[in-house]
Amino acid sequence: MKVLLFGATGMIGQGVLRECLLDPRIDEVRSIVRTSSGTTHPKLTEIVHGDFFDYAAIEDQLTGLDACYFCLGVTSAGLTEEAYHRVTVDLTLAAATVLCRLNPAMTFGYISGAGADSSEQGRIMWARVKGQVENALLRLPFRAVYLFRPGAIRPLHGITSRTRLYRTLYLLLGPFLPLLKAVSPDSLTSTEQLGKAMIHAGLGDLPSGVLEMRDINRL
C-alpha cells in the first residue's frame, strides 16, 4: 500500500508515521511537510511544500496512492471561528479535493475530535467546524472516508505535540493516564493505537463513517 501523510511533524502524525514505517503492508509513505522533519527511512519520501491551499506544483507526486492519513490540524484555543475554519475546513478540503480527483480509489482518514458536531448547528465553535469538515469530506468521491474522533491520547515512544496546550496538558495528566485507562478504557487511546487504527481503516474494508474512541481502540 502507498500512503500519503499530512501532519507528520505533529503528535498524532508522528505516531501514524511510526506505525506506517513499521507495518509491512505499507510499501511507501509520502509525507507532506512545511519543513523537513529530518527523519529518514527507506520507505519514506518527504515532500516539502509551502502552500497547503494549492497543490498544482506537486500534483505529479500525489498520484498512485491508496490511502491518505490527514493528521494536520490546529487547536481552536485563541482562534476566531474564521481563522479556525480556514485551517480546519478550507485547507483540508483544498487537499482532499485534489487527492480524490487524482486517486479515485483512495481512502481518506481524517483526525477530527471527540464531540465533533455533525449537525453543524451546536454552540461549541470547534465542534461545529469539525462537523462541517467531516460532512464535506463524506460528500467527496473517495473510495471511503474515515472520521476519527479521538479524545485523550497518550503520546508514546518519545512523541510530543507541537501545540503547547496539548504538551502541558499531557505533562500534567501523564501520571494519571494509566489509572484513567484502567477505570474507563475507552476514554483514552495512544498515538500507537491511533496509528494502527488509521492504517487498518485505510485498507478500505470498512464502510465510510465516524470512528469514536471505542472503535479506535478495537481496530
Ligand X SMILES: NC(=O)c1ccc[n+]([C@@H]2O[C@H](COP(=O)([O-])OP(=O)(O)OC[C@H]3O[C@@H](n4cnc5c(N)ncnc54)[C@H](OP(=O)(O)O)[C@@H]3O)[C@@H](O)[C@H]2O)c1
- Residues at the site binding ligand X, with contacts judged by CB under 6 A: 7, 9-13, 34-35, 52, 71-75, 87, 111, 113, 150, 153, 161-163, 166
Nearest to 11 by CA among 124, 162, 211: 162
Instruction: List 147's β-bridge partners, or say none.
Output: 110, 210
Three-class DSSP category at 126:
helix
Contact 125, 84 (CB under 8 A): yes
In contact, 71 and 12? CB cutoff 8 Å: yes
| Residue type for position 122 | G
Instruction: Tell me how far, at minimum, the Cβ of 77 lies from ligand X, in Å.
Output: 10
CA distance 190 to 193: 5
The minimum distance between CB 204 and ligand X, in angstroms, equals: 22
Write down the least CB distance from residue 157 to ligand X, Å. 14
* 159 and 17 Cβ atoms separated by less than 8 Å: no
* Nearest approach, Cβ of residue 9 and ligand X (Å): 3
